[in-house]
Amino acid sequence: MDNMNKKVILLIGIISILSICFISAFQIITTFEGKTSFSVSGTGNFVYKINIENTDIGNDPGINKVEIILPSSLKFVGETNITDSIYQNFSGAENILEWNNYENSLIAENEKKYFGFTANTTEIGEFSISIKVSNSSGEYAYGIAVDVAPLSCIQNWSCTEWSECLGESKIRTCVDFNLCGNESERPIETENCFAVCVPVYSCGEWTPEKCKKEEIQTRVCADIKNCGTGEGRPTEERVCKANSKLLFIIMVIVILTFVALFTWTLIDLIRRMKNSD
């Protein structure tokens, strides 16, 4: 075998060994929901659960240690560590969490386990959680992103009363009590002044012209200035009462009759007094 063939075989062997090493050190890291990053709204406590799938192969592929290193913007909340791996060894400081089991693997070959914790998110922005996994072949580092977005802010505007008309406009001042910094819903603060429209109404005749007591009469009234406000609109419906003209005539007759009787009685009384003298 010549030197060229030996070099080719050697190169193939090296590539094969490197390929095996690469495959044996491979794990799949995702969120518990199978995503490649966490999305968090606002600051405060949030539960982070990380899936680690062990696709390693080889003589001893089991993962015996998982270390999670948090960025300074995340603070571990004590005694909130959780996992579905069979283990009893956990240690956690403010930013470094470690699960290990050197007798029995935390994650066996072709197995997936989750490792979770609650952290207090203190800042808005984009960060990264570091994950280190160890087995007999060495330690391997990964990262998973954390995107902390601000909470949606609901604008709460309050405005002063409108000022008097200054020239052709009037003004007011509006303030967002929630200080969202977004003025997409800001009320108008300047408005044109217009002359006040005073309605002038013209009404038709009451119909029906004659009606019995307790019946309804109606009429139509229109604003000849077309102000459109309806302010001061006259009554367009009323209940009919007894005929006032007839009542007036009857009252006059009664009064005249009473006056006539009184006058006749007075004259008769005077005449009798004269005769008695």
Per-residue pLDDT tens digits for 5-52: 544 444 444 444 444 333 344 789 999 999 999 998 888 899 999 999
- CATH number assigned to the domain with residue range 3-149, chosen from the 4 options 1.10.3260.10, 3.40.50.620, 2.60.40.10, 3.90.950.10: 2.60.40.10
Please give the C-alpha separations between residue 51 and each of 37, 79, 181, 189, 276, in angstroms, as whole numbers: 12, 19, 38, 54, 138
Per-residue pLDDT tens digits for 79-107: 999 999 987 689 988 799 999 998 888 99
| Rounded-to-integer distance, Cα 157 and Cα 88, Å | 55
| Rounded-to-integer distance, Cα 53 and Cα 110, Å | 7
Structure-block tokens of residue 102: 């050197």
Structure-block tokens of residue 246: 């007839």
Q: Among 179, 175, 171, which residue's Cα sits nearest to residue 150?
A: 179
Give the residue range(s) of CATH 2.60.40.10 domains in the chain.
3-149
pTM of the model: 0.49
Q: Which H or E run includes 251?
A: helix 244-276
